[in-house]
Structure 1
Amino acid sequence: MTNWIPNLSAGSGPLYSRLADQIERAISDGALPPGAKLPPQRNLAYDLGVTIGTIGRAYTMIRERGLVSGEVGRGTYVLDRSSEAPDAALDPVSVNLAGTRVINAPPGKTRFDSTAAPDIGQGVILGRMFAEMMRDHPSEISSYTRSFPQTWFEAGQTWLSRGPWSPEIDSIVPTLGAHAGVMAVLSAVTAPGDKIVFENLTYSQISRSAGLIGRRSIQVESDEHGLIPEDFERVCAQQHPRAAFLMPTAQNPTVATLSLKRRQQIAEIARTHSVWLIEDNLYGSMADDDLPLLAELAPDRTFLVGGLSKSVAAGVRGGWVACPPHFSQRIRIAHKMVTGGIPFMLAEICARLVLSGEAAAIRRKCIDEINARQRIAHEILSGLDYQSLPNIPFLWLKLPEPWLSGTFRNAALDAGVLVDDEDEFKAGRPDKVFHRARIGYSAPANREEVRQGMLTLRRLLDNGRSGYDSYA
């Protein structure tokens, strides 16, 4: 182990950034040669008189720069970059994308692995609105977005409102969909090495994206009623996270909805431990409940995220964030840095959809179609154990014995149906095994396709694994 000790009085910026820069310089000039083991984080924190969190952030930064590798129980070592294959930095296997869903689905499969808004004829409406937009704004189409019309913010305010509550218009940030909005928030209010709280089962694309920008995921326990406040408080007290990503209503994939009491407890815990809350309300805006949003209970620290993908049209990539006071400009800049900026055409069409009332009308039709498809699922899957909610385009199926989640996914694929197994929704590697699969029914072209796909799944479930030869 090296006895190298940096001098943090040199340089500028946060301590963790200075430390990371000094480690990089020491590696470059040979003071830390290939194979050298860096001091344990706790020891270095004591020697420098800083917190272990500062050391952790610095070590995360240099790991992201490809300078060191870390192994739990062994320590952090300087890599030998001189012997690295030329294309190693470009090797996709080296990026932590394990478990991420393949986007290009095999042709001819029934897609029960998507929850995008069903096709109820949006194309006709969008075609007309795009023609009107091109007529009204011919010059804006050929240029970058330099200014944001007031209507874009009004649309976000309208879409994110719930009952009598409405966000302030100066808190609104238009985004390239909800996912981009969440990542803009994480980029703005956290730093590399910071910990982000996720439920054990969640929309894991966010936790994986957070990992790609150097944030660390930590998990909290949930039950059939959603996130458990007592475990959230334990994690906050012990691990000091900077933010938490939550779906209080119609949680994906469990469809759990937090009670008012739990929402109040979570808001108070976040306030006590200075944790930012990111509230994903994509499905919540479709559900039938009048519970207050976390943004209502904790407006000083909640970023409310919503969009059009699940209830209007996923292809237009429209979304908004309602921010705590004085944060909108910061999030707007972060969104531009993360995404490259929002195109005029998409932001304008989303605003027109919402302010004209067309988005609300499409949402009502989509919900009607989703409920019709849900009735088909309930009829065919009758007697099985699953959770679902009215208006929500998926159900959370408990697999009967002896099915395993991954085996069932593979069997369904072989039978012509794409489903998501539980691993798709795990934010980390919890010890729990749930033996469940999420079945979405909004993507198929029509109800008959939904019926045939559900019948296929029912036959698999009834036959058990004896009806599936994984080596065929």
Structure 2
Amino acid sequence: MSGLTSHWAKRIADSPKPAYLTIPDLIEEALADGRLQARDRLPGLRDLAEALALNYTTVARAYGEARKRGLIDAKAGSGTYVRGRAPAVPLRAGTSAEMTMNMPPEPPALATRLRESSAALLAGTEPYTLLRYQDFGGTPADRAAVTGWLRRLVPAAASETLLICPGIHSALVALLSQLARGGQTLCVEPLAYPGIKAIAAQLGVQLQALPADEDGMIGSAFENFCKAHKPAALYCNPTIQNPSTRTMPQSRREILADIALRYNVPIIEDDAYGMLPRRTPDTFAALAPELTYYMTGLSKCFGAGLRTAFVHAPSARQSQRLAGTLRATTVMASPFTNLLATAWIQDGTADEMLAAVRQENAARQAIATRVLAGRPYAADPEGFHLWLHLGAGNAWRPSELALHLRSRGIGAVSSAAFSTDGNPPDAIRLCLGGPGDRDEIEESLQIVADTLDDPHHLHSAML
């Protein structure tokens, strides 16, 4: 716990919220990113007070708040333990609605196509070639196929600057360990992908949350920080941002790219959702190709299990350097998934799947528009998650609402998991994708709406 408490001490010092409210947020955040697990023992009140340089009463009040939110349990004589997620109660016919993990929907119309093409590929391939070590970063044929597919978003895409990797998350680990040494700073928005928070904490990289508005990170804030400090890089998720669903407009991208160019700050463009919209503004890789590491993949188009990501580096030399770091951390991408990805890009299955996912996303977002009418939430019509604001005067706190929904078989993620500035808004993220059908999505959203309208369960016992 020593590493975690030192991280908490800094976050508490930087947070505008009282420490007794910040500590429960940090416990929830650590649960979300895996640094705490259910049944982990927490420090005693006096030990934590000493580690965080707080008084005993403040920590006692914080633990009391965490208990109210259902995050921890205290057992007389044995200490305080992380409670973790409540077990899900079946919602319908023995199933529950997993709206926690951001997964694309699974269009049933393409299931047969995927099954048949997978079988044909494996039948026509010498099996032992798939069980051997492969060329790192993809074979020349793999890279050529992906390069052509990427040029719609990265005009300068070239095989010599492209790497095929086992997922965006592992590529981010390698890239951040290369660009930012321990103690250096990564500029991010106040809300960001929880994975980047976990990676930065693991590597000892400091996250600097810069102010943002409805268009994204504010240019003047980024420039002022560049003048006063030398950030290791700028990290952004500009298209259908996770969790806010916002797509950064062209004008804001141009401003941030210009500042990065003037101060020579590398850009990490996490474009996991970039292929979903039919039209998007120019990527940072198009606006500042000499500085941008562009990342996208297939897990948000096909499914999370297809851990195939594509990283386009600013130059062949930088691609080779990143390849060395990736080789040390991941060895290689799976030959099976590379085979599928390349074939599906070449035979048009990837584009058909994208079109089907977009169509299903639009249908599910239309359901959300109807069920959540009048409630403040943000969504992209071609995306598969939404960002639900609880609204002024709502009795629920995000963590309490998320925990209560889990007890009813509905997964949701509270804003604390995404907050990088210690001041999360009153909001939760709900995923509309995954294996459920439209009826399940509608029923689940109706339960969410009814819960917001009737918070009588707020202080009832959680399962």
Q: Provide TM-score, normalisation by structure 2.
A: 0.77
Which sections of structure 2, spanning at least 5 residues, go unmatched? 12-25, 38-83, 91-95
- Does structure 1 residue 222 correspond to structure 2 residue 212? yes
Choose which of 124, 127, 132 in structure 1 pairs with 2:120: 132
In terms of mean alpha carbon deviation, does 125-134 or 224-233 score higher?
A: 125-134
Choose which of 392, 412, 423 in structure 1 pairs with 2:416: 423
State the 1:203 CA deviation: 0.4
d(CA) in 2 for partners of 1:104, 1:471: 14
How has the CA–CA distance of structure 1 residues 397 and 414 changed in structure 2, closer, same or farther, with 3 Å as cutoff? same
1:239 matched to which residue of 2?
Answer: 229
1:29 matched to which residue of 2?
Answer: none
The answer as to whether partners of 2:187 and 2:210 remain within 8 angstroms in 1 is yes
State the 1:71 CA deviation: 6.7
The answer as to whether partners of 1:114 and 1:441 remain within 8 angstroms in 2 is no
2:107 matched to which residue of 1?
Answer: 120
1:156 matched to which residue of 2?
Answer: 146
Q: Deviations over 1:88-134 (max 9, x none)?
A: xxxxx99x945426899945431111221211245544433333333
State the 1:444 CA deviation: 4.2
2:241 matched to which residue of 1?
Answer: 251
Q: Provide TM-score, normalisation by structure 1.
A: 0.75
State the 1:182 CA deviation: 2.1
2:33 matched to which residue of 1?
Answer: 100
The answer as to whether partners of 1:198 and 1:207 remain within 8 angstroms in 2 is no
d(CA) in 2 for partners of 1:71, 1:104: 25
2:171 matched to which residue of 1?
Answer: 181
State the 1:192 CA deviation: 2.4
How has the CA–CA distance of structure 1 residues 312 and 195 changed in structure 2, closer, same or farther, with 3 Å as cutoff? same
d(CA) in 1 for partners of 2:356, 2:10: 51
In terms of mean alpha carbon deviation, does 99-108 or 281-290 score higher?
A: 99-108
State the 1:214 CA deviation: 2.4
Tell me which structure has the larger Cα radius of gyration: 1
State the 1:208 CA deviation: 1.1
d(CA) in 1 for partners of 2:218, 2:235: 14
The answer as to whether partners of 1:288 and 1:390 remain within 8 angstroms in 2 is no
d(CA) in 2 for partners of 1:258, 1:350: 28
State the 1:392 CA deviation: 0.5
How has the CA–CA distance of structure 1 residues 224 and 207 changed in structure 2, closer, same or farther, with 3 Å as cutoff? same
How has the CA–CA distance of structure 1 residues 296 and 72 changed in structure 2, closer, same or farther, with 3 Å as cutoff? closer
Choose which of 383, 402, 412 in structure 2 pairs with 1:409: 402
What value does the CA root-mean-square deviation take over the aligned residues? 2.8
- Does structure 1 residue 342 correspond to structure 2 residue 364? no
d(CA) in 2 for partners of 1:240, 1:224: 26
Matched position secondary structure for 1:136: coil
Choose which of 388, 391, 398 in structure 1 pairs with 2:382: 391
State the 1:421 CA deviation: 0.7
Q: Deviations over 1:278-316 (max 9, x none)?
A: 111121221243411110110000011001111122211
Which sections of structure 1, spanning at least 5 residues, go unmatched? 1-62, 74-92
- Matching of residues 301-312 of structure 1 within 5 Å: 301-312=291-302
The answer as to whether partners of 1:194 and 1:241 remain within 8 angstroms in 2 is yes
Q: Deviations over 1:402-452 (max 9, x none)?
A: 22111111221122211111011113x42x341111111002421111011
Matched position secondary structure for 2:106: coil
Question: How many equivalent pairs are there?
Answer: 385
How has the CA–CA distance of structure 1 residues 425 and 159 changed in structure 2, closer, same or farther, with 3 Å as cutoff? farther
Q: Which has the higher contact order (CA 8 A, sep 6+)?
A: 2
